[in-house]
Amino acid sequence: MSSTPVVTRFAPSPTGYLHIGGGRTALFNWLYARGRGGKFLLRIEDTDRERSTPEATAAILRGLTWLGLDWDGEVVSQFERRDRHAEVAHQMLARGTAYKCFSTQEEIAAFRAAREAEGASYAVFVSPWRDADPATYPDAPFAIRMKAPRTGETVIEDQVQGRVIIKNETLDDMIVLRSDGTPVYMLAVVVDDHDMGVTHVIRGDDHLNNAARQQMVYDAMGWAIPVWAHIPLIHGPDGKKLSKRHGATGVEEYQAMGYPAAGMRNYLTRLGWAHGDAEIFTSEEAIQMFDLAGIGRAPARLDFKKLENTCGHHMAMAEDAALLHELKAFLAVAGLSALTEVQELRMKDALSFLKKSAKTFPELVEKAAFLMVSRPVVPDEKAAASLDTVSRGILKSLTPRLQNVSWSKDALEPILNEIAAENGIGFGKLAAPLRAAIAGRTVTPSVYDMMLVIGRDEVIARLEDASS
RNA sequence: GGCCCGUUCGUCUAUCGGUUAGGACACCUGGUUUUCAACCAGGUAAGAGGGGUUCGACUCCCCUACGGGCUGCCA
């Protein structure tokens, strides 16, 4: 194979947040580069001055960072490279692979309307200036158009889509430099990818047709064509193009919904890509396994249930310290109050069991309610119901016996069993009021787990609160 | 309209001419259990339709249907 190092890139337009589909495209580029000791570059395609904003760029960077996709080198601004783009357009002019076109937009519109009136199925604009004698050039603004081949075909060798053949007659002489001297996207991408040394262009398949045009620019400049890989877009659960009505479309929304980044990464990697039966894997494993050949050709639908399941596995797999760190970040972006010192201390102990059953951070926080509340614990309606007179009496008889036991499950278990036996009830009947007293609710983690986390003094205090 | 791409269980997919079409999620049933989960065991479920090619097609070719993309001096 080639010995040239792999260089991939992600090139979003800063016109909004980082779309989940864009996030996946970035992820694929990142995986591919990282798995081959290559580089993953980031370029912001901000040539559309009307719609590009610095806020959007910041949001995209945040989204990528959250997903754990680190890029190499500086972020490239396409807009700042406009002089270079114009330079290449003029080089094309000099090479004779482009020409000055003085047709006005009105003339072009009229041309199309006329062809349409004739009943033409499509109207490729043919500029009258394509072969005009420079002596006839008017003193007027002009655009630079590429002198595209009119016959034959352009073949795209795509790693995902296979060999795609486009007839040249269906492609017009696209403009590379506007009459105001600004470069057009189609030129800018090629020049930037070339200058940045991009070897593999992995992007959405909405660009598949564009690849033919771009390839013409590569040819016009005598540059090496990169490896193409046009990946299908992500669709909503109904199979339609993913849009707002399907729910979250922005990467940061997923963070705010509390999906752990590792799970998100795993899910997005598996969405539209497979490696045998591999389902749950770390990023390191994904980097090792990832290849272009495993990418499917059909658009994949988002499945929130599977996303959750995948996230659940990663929650359970996570290191407690890292999970605590991510939990705090989640609390911040979700606009929830930060953990107090006491809560954080308890959380550190509770994570070992909480993470096993939670799939998302909101779920984890929900299960951690017992350690978040402070005295007096106010029971909800159902919990209050289980704290009847009899139960309160039982709890009252329990507290003295907790004073001197060693605070471990092994020591606590016999005591609670004794209490249950003495009162002629099963452990389940005892656990209910205990849960109510300790957490103020009926659905909680194991009573032992809770007791161990909040500690003897707090448990006794809560039991006394509830039984008095 | 034209051009291009796609179509295996509800969903993500494996298969790369010969399989009882496999796995995962979801769903259903059972088990475990201290509540909710989690967990364990089992189950239901698929090659869009029609033509070819072939001894043999989910796999190759064609047509149709459906979905998507492109068709700008947007990116």
Residues A53-73: pLDDT tens digits?
999 999 999 999 999 999 999
Average pLDDT over residues A400-409: 92
Q: Specify whether A244 is catalytic.
A: yes
Spanning CA of A350 to C1' of B26, the rounded length in angstroms is 30
pLDDT of residue A122: 64
Q: What is the pLDDT confidence band of residue A233, given thresholds at 50, 70 and 90? A: confident
Distance CA A433, CA A447 (A): 10
pLDDT at A322 over 80: yes
What are A7's two structure tokens? 């260089």
Is strand B in 7 Å reach of the CB of A446?
A: yes
**pLDDT computed for residue A3 by the predictor:** 61
In 3D space, the residue among A148, A142, A104, A101 whose CA is nearest the CA of residue A124 turns out to be A148
**Distance separating alpha carbons of residues A411 and A186, to the nearest angstrom:** 72
Residue A88 in this model has a pLDDT that exceeds 80 = yes
Which pLDDT band holds residue A114 (cuts at 50, 70, 90)? confident
Q: Does residue A241 register a pLDDT over 90?
A: no
Q: Which of A240, A244, A305, A396 is catalytic?
A: A244
Measured CA A306 to C1' B74 distance, in angstroms: 36
What's the average model confidence in pLDDT over A160-177?
91
pLDDT band at A246 (very low <50, low <70, confident <90, very high): confident
Output the distance from A298 CA to B47 C1' rounded to whole Å. 15
Judge whether A69 and A26 are in contact, CB under 8 Å.
yes
- pLDDT, greater one: A345 or A113: A345
Amino acid in the structure at residue A76 = V
Taking the stretch 266-325 of protein chain A, residues with Cβ within 7 Å of any atom in nucleic acid chain B are 270-274, 276-277, 279, 294, 296-301, 303, 305-306, 308-309, 312
Helix ranges (DSSP H) in A358-407? 361-367, 369-372, 381-386, 389-402
Instruction: Please state, in angstroms and rounded to a whole number, the distance separating the CA atoms of residues A278 and A290.
Output: 11
Which nucleotide has the shortest C1'-to-CA distance from A297? Answer: B6
Query: What average pLDDT score do residues A114-126 get?
Result: 76
**Per-residue pLDDT at A268:** 96
**Res A1: pLDDT:** 46
Nucleotides on strand B lying under 7 Å from protein C-beta: 1-8, 10-14, 22-27, 34-39, 67-75
Residue A169 has pLDDT above 70, yes or no: yes
